[in-house]
A and B are shown apart, each in its own frame.
Chain A
Amino acid sequence: MVTATIQNLGHWTLSLFERMGRASIFFVRVLAAVPSTFTRPRLIIKEIYSIGVLSLTLIIVSGFFVGMVLGLQGYVTLVDFGAEESLGVVVAITLVRELGPVVTALLFAGRAGSALAAEIGLMKTTEQLSSMEMMAVDPIKRVIAPRFIGGIISMPLLTIIFTAVGILGGRFAGVGLLGVDEGSFWSQMQANVDLVDDVANGMIKGVVFAVVCVWIALYKGYEATPTAEGISLATTQTVVNSAFAVLGLDFILTALMFV
């Protein structure tokens, strides 16, 4: 009974290390393929379109609503202290430091990450990756690396857009609906949001989350079992693992940056 438990635990740990090892090797292979991919910008631009541009609607609409909710909630709390002209600071700091990077990453994993995993898994299932290999074309270079670069360029930009639209949403709720003074909304924000402490740290999060989400999606697709179930599992795991990774890393990064 006890030995069985220990055995299971050992087995689980070994397989965890094995999977982490495989994922790391995959990551290194992709990184090695990145420089040569920059010589083919058209491949990257195509991916920026399908990964980034096609996610815009989702990011903009979500950003606006998240910002409006922040505006409403912030107002309700601040008004008790007569501090509602600080609403701009509260909305901006929350978005720049936390909600911008985190929510964008979660939405990205659901929208683009799952699509990437499914696309690559299906290419594997239909032997397209195999046939490329037989044509002496490395799928890591031709298929994976352009998507990796496209994702890593797109996601931080989406984070910026989400944050900016969110601030507009907060202004709409606070200034437009609740009558907070527009001048103090913006000037307080300008005075209290720090370029390095807030904006730069927020962007670092955006980039880290981008690398992690894109890596997970590509790896899950590439390692998918070539069946319908395998692909469905790969897409699910992409979203679930990305969510865990993003939220866990966010805690660590926040502790390092802001505490």
Chain B
Amino acid sequence: MMESIIQIRELHFARGTHKIFNGISLDIHAGQVTAFMGPSGTGKTTLLKIIGGQLRPDKGNVQVYGKDIHHVSQNELYDLRKRMGMLFQSGALLTDINVFENVAFPLREHTRLPEQIIRDLVLIKLEAVGLRGARRLMPSELSGGMARRVALARAIVLDPSMIMYDEPFTGLDPITKGTIVTLIKELNETLGIASVIVSHDVNETMSIADYIYVISDGQVVESGTPENLGSSSSPWLQQFLQGLPDGPVPFHYPAENYRDDLLAGR
């Protein structure tokens, strides 16, 4: 196994009184695809933002490339972030510039490459996500799935050594989904980068992940290789992987008793 580039130890995080993480510890290794899975609202996006240094944990520490990301200077933080790519769940494209310029944005900000090379790099990444022909469109003219693919191209344009994908497969048709799965796998294998995937798509995730953390209720409830998890006897995990509505996994946001709640309105 290659070196671990992210180490999370005893992470606690709360939004107001709502505890989101309750002592999570995990490792992410170079050259591997690590997946976070878990019910909606368990804090997967939050976890990525903590790793990226955008949110501060209440307790615990997060080491990225051997540095405590929440206790470094802004310059060091930005140096670390140049080595990370992040695909936002919403895409988060810059709406005042077109697709080409969005993908070129990190290059223009961080390099002094000549225009011709920027053009080539951008077109290569756009070709990889199948949107070379859409380069002149504005973000408002893209469909949701297209916007996320542009965001993916942007996330990989600086060739980061670690990429975090927040829901890379949602809203994609099966063909595109297949292409993106292959793309993520290729990036991971050929460049030996660390990939972190947050996803609900059990099949896709199981097919490309090397290691999976299942998070629920502020804790890592299961972790292991896809084979391990697939053959696990935990009823919790089987319910989650097979998508059964009934079982130990809470589908609801914590709430008071349903019947009492309905009756309370009278």
Contacts and interface: CB of A to CB of B under 8 A. Distances in A.
Interface of A: 123, 126-128, 130-138, 142
A52 B106 CA distance: 28
A138 B75 CA distance: 10
Given A128-B95, A142-B109, A134 B86 contact: yes
B229 interface: no
Given A136-B110, A137-B105, 19 more contacts: A123-B95, A126-B92, A126-B95, A127-B90, A128-B92, A130-B88, A131-B86, A131-B92, A134-B81, A134-B86, A134-B88, A135-B81, A135-B109, A135-B154, A136-B78, A136-B79, A136-B106, A137-B109, A137-B110
A142 B105 CA distance: 11
Contacts, number: 49
Contacts of A126: 90, 92, 95
A237 B79 CA distance: 36
Contact of A134 (B54, B74, B109): B54
Name the 6 nearest CB pairs between A and B, nearest first.
A131-B92, A127-B92, A136-B81, A136-B78, A134-B86, A136-B82
A133 B95 contact: no
Contacts of B106: 135-137
Contacts of B79: 136
A225 to B, nearest CB: 15
B144 to A, nearest CB: 13
B246 to A, nearest CB: 35
A133 B109 CA distance: 12
A136 B75 CA distance: 9
A31 to B, nearest CB: 16
Interface residues of B, number: 22
Contacts of A123: 95
B94 A128 contact: yes
Chain A CB within 10 A, most for which of B52, B82, B84, B109: B109
B259 to A, nearest CB: 32
Interface in B54-82: 54, 74, 78-79, 81-82
Contact of B54 (A128, A133, A142): A133
Contacts of A130: 54, 88, 92
A71 B109 CA distance: 52
B110 to A, nearest CB: 7
Contacts of B93: 128, 131
A71 B93 CA distance: 52
A149 to B, nearest CB: 18
Nearest to B81: A136
Contacts of A128: 92-95
A131 B88 contact: yes
A126 B154 CA distance: 16
A138 B109 CA distance: 10
Interface string B88-128: 10101111000000000110011000000000000000000
Contacts of B105: 135, 137
Nearest to B90: A127
A170 B105 CA distance: 49
A225 B190 CA distance: 42
Interface string B140-167: 0000000000010010001000000000
21 contacts: A123-B95, A126-B92, A127-B88, A127-B92, A128-B92, A128-B95, A130-B88, A131-B93, A131-B151, A134-B84, A134-B86, A135-B81, A135-B105, A135-B106, A135-B109, A135-B158, A136-B78, A136-B81, A136-B110, A137-B106, A137-B109
Contacts of B81: 133-136
A127 B166 CA distance: 13
A142 B96 CA distance: 13
Contacts of A127: 88, 90, 92
B104 to A, nearest CB: 12
A128 B105 CA distance: 12
Contacts of A137: 105-106, 109-110
Chain A CB within 10 A, most for which of B82, B88, B92, B110: B92
Contacts of A135: 81, 105-106, 109, 154, 158
Contacts of B82: 136
Contacts of B95: 123, 126, 128
Chain B CB within 10 A, most for which of A127, A128, A131, A138: A131
Nearest to B105: A135
A155 B190 CA distance: 53
A126 B102 CA distance: 15
Interface string B153-189: 0100010000000000000000000000000000000
